[in-house]
Amino acid sequence: MSLLRLDKYISNTTGESRSRIKEILKAGRVKVNGETVKSGEIKIDESKDEVMLDSKPVVFERYRYFLLNKPAGCVSATKDKLSDTVLDILKNENTADLFPVGRLDKDSEGLLLITNDGMLSHELLSPTKHVEKVYRVVLDKELEEDDRLKIENCIDIGDDKPCLPAVVENLGNKEAEIKICEGRFHQVKRMFAAAGYQVLYLKRIAMGSLRLEDDLKCGEYRKISIDEIEKLRRRV
């Protein structure tokens, strides 16, 4: 049985501050199992207790999952003094405890998982799990076949050890897709740089079983279903 203090239950669900929740409770706007409750200290069993705020149900979600099509110009962080963060895009959601899983560079775009599920994040980012990530890039020149093979076959980017094998598809018109199962600092850009290419544009299009849909525009996001999360968990 999982028990939470009422004020924490409401805070986690609505994103309201504890001080604001104290005011809401004092005003008699909260009912638990049909009874008005003014103390935030009582314990709630999230599996069976019914909590109502202004006659509307407050449904607790222990973990929340969002798929964001990250735009360029914002940073993959929860706070930043100079730039907008990916959480600013989710300002209409309860962002308490949310964080991006991994990161995309400020000038990069594409798929970013945002959640408060620390265990899933750890599994997805663990080098031992080899979770595949797919990126589409635009290069400064056409990709030669010899260089494509170099990038695929454990290219050295100056770290302690070479990269793990990758899969690179030449799409033509200076575009390519690359599939990797690591997450080193600026890895994709450094892999192409080691072969003599500059990445002018980078977009992540897949991570594990999650894939960026064509109808999710840059800067938009959606909730991820429980079925999608279970499928993602099975991959790790």
Taking the C-alpha atoms of 127, 133, 136 and 140 in order, what is their torsion angle to the nearest 10 degrees? 10
pLDDT for the residue numbered 128: 86
The per-residue pLDDT of the chain, averaged, comes to 93
Name the CATH topology of 3-57: 3.10.290
Residues contacting 21, CB < 8 A, separation 6+: 7, 10, 11, 14, 40
Q: Which residue has the tokens 């595949």?
A: 132
pLDDT of 1 above 70: no
Cut 0.85: pTM above it: no
Backbone φ and ψ for 132, nearest 5 degrees, come out as -75, 140
Read off the pLDDT of residues 132-172 as tens digits, 9 standing for 90 and up.
Answer: 999 999 999 999 999 999 999 999 999 999 999 999 999 99
The answer to whether 159 is a known catalytic residue is no
C-beta of residue 219 within 8 angstroms of C-beta of residue 69: yes
What CATH number does domain 132-207 carry, 1.10.10.10, 3.30.70.1560, 1.20.1560.10, 3.40.50.12170? 3.30.70.1560
> Under CATH, which architecture does the 63-126+222-236 domain have?
2-Layer Sandwich (3.30)
Domains 63-126+222-236 and 132-207 share a fold: yes
How does residue 8 score in pLDDT terms, banded at 50, 70 and 90?
confident
Backbone φ and ψ for 134, nearest 5 degrees, come out as -120, 130
Domain boundaries of the chain, sorted by first residue: 3-57, 63-126+222-236, 132-207
Read off the pLDDT of residues 74-101 as tens digits, 9 standing for 90 and up.
Answer: 999 999 999 999 999 998 888 888 999 9
Q: Which of 80, 97, 105, 159 is catalytic?
A: 105
